Amino acid sequence: MKKIYLFISVFILLFSCEINNKQSVIQADLYNISKKNTFKIKFSIVHIDDRFSWLFYEINSLQLAYKNLEEDSLLSCLLKIKIQEKYGGKQSNDTANYLIKDRVDKINEHFVRGKIKIKTSIGVNCLLQIYSLDITSGYKAINTIYVRKENKFSAQNFDVKLADSSLYAPDSYQNYFVKPIGIHFAYGRNNSEKKLEVNYYQTTLGPAALPFSTKADETFILKPDSTFQINKSEKYFPLIVEKVGFYHCRADTSNRDGITFYYFKNEFPEIKTYEGMIESARYIMKEEEFNIATASENKKDAVDRFWLSLAGSSGRARILISTYYARVKEANQYFSSYLEGWKSDRGMIYIVFGQPKNIYKNSVSENWVYGNESSSLSTTFIFTKLTNPFTENDFSLERGVNTKSAWYAAVDLWRQGRICSIK
């Protein structure tokens, strides 16, 4: 049997969080699925007790470089992990190294999975920054996880697996489903709870308001469409996720925190219907165009006519369509929560403007910079993290008239048959 070794060196730095941009962590490629020389590692957190948490990881072996050394193959991956506290307090640095062994008969596709025990403090929320480097190939990866440990009710107190026994972890691995599925999960550090309340919500929210809009975003009313209880069966709570919307499970009905499972339409995160293509193109459509396309009996013809009117030729239209809806898909992958990612504030900006040149991220906000920061022509969008019992992925754009000219300039590029990509 061939032995393959995955070497992970982990550096954990704990320091106080500064909210201003200069002290935020710069992450130029945080939202860039297609960037070359990168690979993807999935992470999630499950709390063990008041002092420690498990950091789960999952890596597809095909993304990593295997270096043959005689009878063995060596796979090296250097992970640097920074934990950034949300509010003050100085803490010391802590460093740890891990060697993970993966034994296979031959190099083929498989998932390297495991967990690392890290120090976390009860009553403290923090930001986990993870920088990864595959030493053999030089490829890099970056991940960010919000660690919530202010109480025992948050999603990270749940240990979740799918009914088919594959690994699932909220917020950082797959956090949505597109077909009926069974889930079972344990709750609490002593697993003493016997029943949980489940609230089901069927959301019908529309796309985000424009960046300079004075109109408030649609209000999401915290009123479930249905409520039921699930009882623990042996060690786990069973749940069937089967309807479009989301399921929020709570141990304490007086506390809004819990774990949430999202169910989207079966083509998600892609857009595969003409109705969906019209709806998600709303950001670059004129109101009259959108109304006509929406009312059209032949949605395919409406989609074709819209993109041809922008591109001027079928070949150029195909390029625009491919790029635009690829961004819609990526927005869904990055920014989805209780609504599809393309409808969110960050999704709107990502789709129209593309990948930011720089992102400054801390535990309470993200600043996206387009263009040269030293230039008066650069544009910055500021997103503030909202306290949301359903998700850690809800950010609100600070709207203002200062972004109006940049928005229309970006939309005009699309409408001239050109792809907006500001660097």
Q: What is the pLDDT of residue 417?
A: 95
Poorest-confidence range of 99-108, 184-193, 288-297? 99-108
Short-list 349, 359, 392, CA closest to 142: 359
Question: pLDDT per residue over 317-338, tens digit each?
Answer: 999 999 999 999 999 999 998 8
Tokens for 235, please give them: 């060690």
On average, the pLDDT of the chain sits at 81
Amino acid identity, residue 387?
T
Percent of the chain with pLDDT over 90: 38
pLDDT in the model for residue 148: 85
User: What is the distance between the alpha carbons of residues 157 and 176, in angstroms, rounded to a whole number?
Assistant: 18
Cα angle value 206/343/308 (rounded, 5°):
95
For the stretch 401-421, pLDDT in tens is 999 999 999 999 999 999 998
Query: Higher pLDDT residue, 99 or 121?
Result: 121
The residue-averaged pLDDT of 370-397 equals: 90
CA–CA separation, 408 and 419 (whole Å): 14
Q: Picking from 5-19, 68-82, 98-112, 344-358, which range would have the lowest pLDDT averaged per residue? A: 5-19
The residue among 381 and 48 whose pLDDT is bigger is: 381
Q: Kindly report, residue by residue over 291-317, the tens digit of the pLDDT.
A: 999 999 999 999 999 999 999 999 999
Q: CB-based burial of residue 203 (10 Å sphere; 0-12 exposed, 13-18 middle, 19+ buried)?
A: middle
Comparing 30-39, 258-267, 406-415, the range with the smallest average pLDDT is 30-39
Asked if the model's pLDDT at residue 189 lies above 90, the reply is no
169: left (phi over 0), alpha (psi -120 to 50) or beta: beta
| DSSP secondary structure, 396-407, as one string | EE---GGGHHHH
- SS3 helix, strand, coil % of the chain, rounded to 5? 20, 35, 45
With a pLDDT cut of 70, the percent of the chain lying above it is 76
Residue 12, pLDDT above cutoff 50: no
Most confident of 17-21, 62-66, 183-187, 215-219: 183-187
The CA distance from 330 to 327, in Å, is 5
What's the pLDDT score for residue 374? 82
The arrangement of strands across the sheet holding 158-162 comes to 158-162, 181-187, 237-241
Residues 6 or more apart in contact with residue 83 via CB below 8 angstroms: 12, 13, 14, 118, 120, 126, 127, 128, 129, 147
Q: Which two tokens stand for residue 167?
A: 């690994």
d(C-alpha 84, C-alpha 86), whole Å? 7
Average pLDDT over residues 2-18: 43
Measuring CA to CA, which residue among 304, 314, 232 is closest to residue 274?
A: 304
pLDDT of residue 285: 97
3-class secondary structure, 127: strand
pLDDT digits (tens, 9 = 90+) for 343-353: 999 999 999 99
pLDDT at 163: 60
Whether pLDDT at 229 is above 90: yes
- Position 135 scores a pLDDT of 73
75 vs 39, residue with greater confidence = 39
Query: How does residue 2 score in pLDDT terms, banded at 50, 70 and 90?
Result: very low
Helices 287-295/299-311 angle, 10° precision: 150
Q: What is the pLDDT of residues 121-147, one digit of tens each?
A: 888 887 777 777 777 777 777 777 888
Per-residue confidence (pLDDT) for residue 101, from 0 to 100: 66
Q: Where are the domains of the chain?
A: 1-150, 274-415
Mean pLDDT, residues 60-79 taken together: 64
Three-state SS letters, 142-177: EEEEEECCCCCCCHHHEEEEECCCCECCCCCCCCEE
In 3D, which of 177, 78, 179, 178 has the Cα closest to residue 132?
78
- Give residue 151's pLDDT band: very low, low, confident or very high (50, 70, 90): confident
User: How many residues can be counted in the chain?
Assistant: 423
pLDDT for position 388: 87
pLDDT tops 90 at residue 274: yes
Assess contact for 155 and 258: CB atoms under 8 A.
Answer: yes
Preceding omega of 269 cis (within 30 degrees of 0): yes
In angstroms, the CA 78 to CA 136 distance is 10
Cβ neighbors of 176 (< 8 A, separation 6 or more) are: 261, 262, 263, 264, 268, 269, 336
How far apart, in whole angstroms, are the C-alpha atoms of residue 73 and residue 80? Answer: 23
Where does the pLDDT of residue 220 fall: very low under 50, low under 70, confident under 90, or very high at 90 and above? low
Q: What is the mean pLDDT of residues 159-176?
A: 58
Question: Which residue did the predictor score with more confidence, 223 or 99?
Answer: 223
Element (H, E) at 275: helix 274-280
- The more confidently predicted of residues 192 and 233 is 233
Least-confidence region, from 77-91, 124-138, 205-219, 283-297 = 77-91
Q: Are strands 365-370 and 358-361 parallel, antiparallel or unpaired?
A: antiparallel
